[in-house]
Amino acid sequence: MVGHRTALGVRRVLSNCAVALACFPAILPAGEAALPAPASPATTVSDGEIDAKLYKVLSVVKPGSSSALVRKQAVAELPLDDLTPDARAKAEHLLQSLGLFRRLPTLAFDVEPGVYHYLLQNPDVAVSTWRAMEISRFELKQVSPGRYHADAGDGSVGDIEVWRSTRDDTLIYCDGAFKSPLVIKPIVARSIMRLRTRIVSSDDGTPRAECTGDVFVEFPSPAVETIAKVISPISHSIADRNFKQLSVYAHLMSQAMTRQPAWVQQLARRMDASDDQKAALLQLTAQVHRAAVDRARVHREPLPVDDIISPLRLPNDRDTIIPASGTN
């Protein structure tokens, strides 16, 4: 029974960790990073955990992987020489005790570059929109340049450090304690995530983002690590799913600014962000909408607000697909 409870607790931890890490693409800098060449043509995503009709905007260029070969390649490619001595020491310690690895799928989706880059550069604002839309209780607060504090709203908290942020890629470190009602003590986990993104154009000239990433997780407790490995197929699925969900969020926010600027204005009023952050969001919305109209790429009918919100919810469930609690 204890082992079963611990396994459920670890599953929740992995979900919380995936949620926290999945939101950190928003810390990526503007710019276009090199991605590996697609192994096969992009296909519309089909995932048993999501509604394919709602996610038809998302394409999987290349599926995720956790193979030993990919893991070895990902570790070798980490830019450790570019890190500070403190960051490099943390990274090397984590990699020596690596418990789980996942290369996230390479995803492609239509998005206005200005919207995408804004969300990348302002992760705390992006997370604030989730709370304003009442699709998550997750909080992300900047405490100093390159450092954030994350709170999942259930007692799970984490400190995030942006170790490296260039036009090519971003390296992020998360040290968290994850609370679960199924286990007595919080479960500690440390993670590194490397993210890469680029903006490309589809055949008709529509801008698209392509994103991928590598996730490395360390569990200081050997017992927890053992259980984590046993349920790794579940954690890998959670990580992939959350990465897809955040990509869809970026697409839908782009659609909202392009076709429903009045709704974004209402959303900004409900956000727990600073006046400057709200003003910047509204200024961007006006620019994106005006540019879309000028290019005659916007439909005459505004995008129904429900079309923005509904894809961010689990099918047949009132919980969000950007969960605060990590349950699924």
Q: Tell me: pLDDT of 279 over 70.
A: yes
- 242: confidence class by pLDDT, cuts 50, 70, 90: confident
**Cβ neighbours, 10 Å, residue 234:** 16
**What span, in angstroms and rounded, lies between the C-alpha atoms of 66 and 14?**
15
In this predicted model, what pLDDT tens digit does every residue of 7-53 receive, in sequence order? 444 444 444 444 444 343 333 223 333 222 323 333 333 444 445 55
What pLDDT sits at residue 326? 36
Q: Tens digits of per-residue pLDDT, 141-155?
A: 999 988 999 887 777
For residue 283, pLDDT over 90 is answered with yes
pLDDT for position 55:
62
Distance of alpha carbon 137 from alpha carbon 33, whole angstroms: 31
List pLDDT tens digits, range 42-95.
333 344 444 555 567 888 899 999 999 999 999 999 999 999 999 999 999 999
Question: Residues of 151-190 as b/e, b for ≥16 C-beta within 10 angstroms?
Answer: bbebebbbebbbbbbeeebbbbbbbbebbbeebeebbebb
3-state secondary structure of 132: helix
Helices (H), 102-231: 113-121, 123-132, 222-230
Residue 59's φ and ψ, nearest 5 degrees, are -115, 140
* Total residue count of the chain as it appears in this document: 328
Give the C-alpha separation, 21 to 35, whole Å: 19
Where along the chain do its domains lie?
Answer: 2-312
Give the number of other Cβ atoms within 10 Å of residue 283's Cβ. 11
Q: Please give the pLDDT value at position 26.
A: 32
Going from the C-alpha of 77 to that of each of 68, 73, 169, 238, the distances in angstroms are 14, 6, 11, 24
Indicate the pTM of the whole model: 0.75
